[in-house]
Structure 1
Amino acid sequence: MAKTPGCLYIAHMKDGPMIRIRLPGGAVTADQLRAVAALAGDLGSGLIDLTNRANLQVRGLHDITFDVLKTHLGGAGLLPKAAWADRIRNIVADPLDGRDPDALCDTRGLVEALDAAIQARPALKSLSSEVGFVVDNGGASGVAGLAHDIGLVAERAASGIRFRLTLAGTPTELVASEETAPLLAIAAARAAIALAAEAQSPLPRGLAAYGVGAKTWKQPTAAAVRLALALGGPYENRIRRLIKTVPVETIVERLEDFAEIPLERAAVADPLPVFDPSIGIVPEARSGFVSCGLGVPVGRLDVATTRHLAALADRHGDGTLRLAPWHAVFLPSVRTDAAEALLAEADRLGFVVDPAFVRIRLYACSGVEGCRGGRLHTKENGRAVFAAVAKTLGDAPLPEPLTIHVSGCIKGCAHRQQSDILALERNASYDVFENAAPGTEPPPDRHRGSASAETLPDLVADLARARFDRNAAE
Structure 2
Amino acid sequence: MSIRHDDLLSALHREGVETLVSGFTACPGLFYATSAQDGILSRLRIPGGILNSKQCQAIAQIADMQGGGYVDVTNRANLQIREISQGISSEVLQHLQNLGIGSHNSAIDHIRNIMTSPTAGIDPEELIDTRPLIQSWDAYLAAHSELSALSAKFSVCFDGGGKVSVSDRLNDILLRAELIDTQVYFCLYLSFIKSQPPINTGIILLPEQCLSVLAALADVYLKHTDIQLRRKPRLQAVINSLGWENYLQQVEQRLSFTLQRSQPSPTIKEAGFWHIGIHPQRQENLFYIGVVLPLGRLTSQQLRRLGNLAAKYGSGTIRLTPWQNLLITDIPQQCVIDVQNHLTNLGLDFTVTNIQSTLVACSGKRGCAASATDTKSHALALADYLKNRVQLNRPINIHFSGCAKSCAQHHTGDITLLGVSDRNIESYHIYVGDRDSLEQFGQKIYQDVSFTELPVIIEQMLKIYKIHSLNSEESFGEFVNRYGTNRLKELRPCTIKT
Scaled to the shorter chain, the TM-score interval is 0.7 to 0.9
In structure 2, the residue matched to 1:355 is: 352
Q: Taking every aligned residue pair, what percent have the same amino acid on both sides?
A: 26
Letter in 2 for 1:182: L
Deviation at 1:20?
0.4
Letter in 2 for 1:381: H
Q: 1:456 to 1:261 in 2, by over 3 A?
A: farther
SS of residue paired to 1:446: strand
Deviation at 1:360?
5.9
Letter in 1 for 2:330: S
Q: 1:243 to 1:460 in 2, by over 3 A?
A: farther
In structure 2, the residue matched to 1:149 is: 172
Letter in 1 for 2:74: T
1:37-186 correspondence to structure 2 within 5 Å: 37-158=60-181, 160-168=183-191, 169-186=198-215
Letter in 2 for 1:43: Q
Letter in 2 for 1:394: Q
Q: Which residue, 242, 249, 253 being the options, matches 1:253?
A: 249
Deviation at 1:385?
2.1
Higher helix share: 1
Q: 1:252 to 1:423 in 2, by over 3 A?
A: same
In structure 1, the residue matched to 2:19 is: none
CA contact (8 A) 1:123 1:190 kept: no
Query: Are 2:396 and 1:407 equivalent residues in the alignment?
Result: no
Moved more, 234-243 or 74-83: 234-243
Moved more, 454-463 or 294-303: 454-463
Deviation at 1:52?
0.2
Q: Distance in 2 between matches of 1:389 and 1:240?
A: 40
Q: Which residue, 413, 428, 433 being the options, matches 2:430?
A: 433
In structure 2, the residue matched to 1:450 is: 449
Q: Which residue, 263, 267, 271 being the options, matches 1:268?
A: 263
Q: Distance in 2 between matches of 1:469 and 1:421?
A: 21
SS of residue paired to 2:377: helix
Deviation at 1:236?
4.8
CA contact (8 A) 2:108 2:148 kept: yes
SS of residue paired to 1:88: coil
Q: Which residue, 201, 220, 239 being the options, matches 1:191?
A: 220
State the Cα deviation string for residues 334-391 of structure 1 (Å, max 9, x = none): 0112213312321332323102248963221112332234464322221222344454
- Per the normalisation by structure 1, the TM-score is 0.83
Deviation at 1:95?
0.9
Q: 1:368 to 1:421 in 2, by over 3 A?
A: closer
Query: Are 2:21 and 1:21 equivalent residues in the alignment?
Result: no
SS of residue paired to 1:180: helix
Q: 1:351 to 1:174 in 2, by over 3 A?
A: same
In structure 1, the residue matched to 2:459 is: 461
Q: Distance in 2 between matches of 1:247 and 1:281?
A: 46
SS of residue paired to 1:369: coil
Q: 1:430 to 1:109 in 2, by over 3 A?
A: same
SS of residue paired to 1:100: coil
CA contact (8 A) 1:296 1:351 kept: yes
| Aligned-residue CA RMSD (Å) | 2.9
Q: 1:380 to 1:123 in 2, by over 3 A?
A: same
Unaligned stretches of 5+ residues in structure 2: 6-24, 192-197, 471-481, 484-498
Q: 1:114 to 1:389 in 2, by over 3 A?
A: farther
SS of residue paired to 1:281: strand
1:272-287 correspondence to structure 2 within 5 Å: 274=269, 275-277=271-273, 278-287=275-284
Q: Which residue, 308, 314, 321 being the options, matches 1:317?
A: 314
- Per the normalisation by structure 2, the TM-score is 0.79
SS of residue paired to 1:148: coil
Deviation at 1:128?
1.4
State the Cα deviation string for residues 151-172 of structure 1 (Å, max 9, x = none): 1112224573222221122122
Q: Distance in 1 between matches of 2:137 and 2:88?
A: 29
Q: 1:120 to 1:316 in 2, by over 3 A?
A: same
Deviation at 1:273?
5.0
CA contact (8 A) 2:417 2:429 kept: yes
In structure 1, the residue matched to 2:20 is: none
Letter in 1 for 2:313: H
SS of residue paired to 1:337: helix
Unaligned stretches of 5+ residues in structure 1: 198-228
Q: 1:366 to 1:262 in 2, by over 3 A?
A: same
Deviation at 1:309?
1.1
Q: Distance in 1 between matches of 2:402 and 2:123?
A: 38
Q: Distance in 2 between matches of 1:122 and 1:166?
A: 25
Q: Distance in 1 between matches of 2:456 and 2:83?
A: 31
1:212-231 correspondence to structure 2 within 5 Å: 229=226, 231=227
Q: Distance in 1 between matches of 2:217 and 2:354?
A: 35
In structure 2, the residue matched to 1:339 is: 336
SS of residue paired to 2:135: helix
Deviation at 1:66?
5.0
CA contact (8 A) 1:290 1:336 kept: yes
Letter in 1 for 2:189: T
Q: 1:114 to 1:445 in 2, by over 3 A?
A: closer
Letter in 1 for 2:39: G
* Larger RCO: 1 or 2 (CA < 8 Å, sep 6+): 1
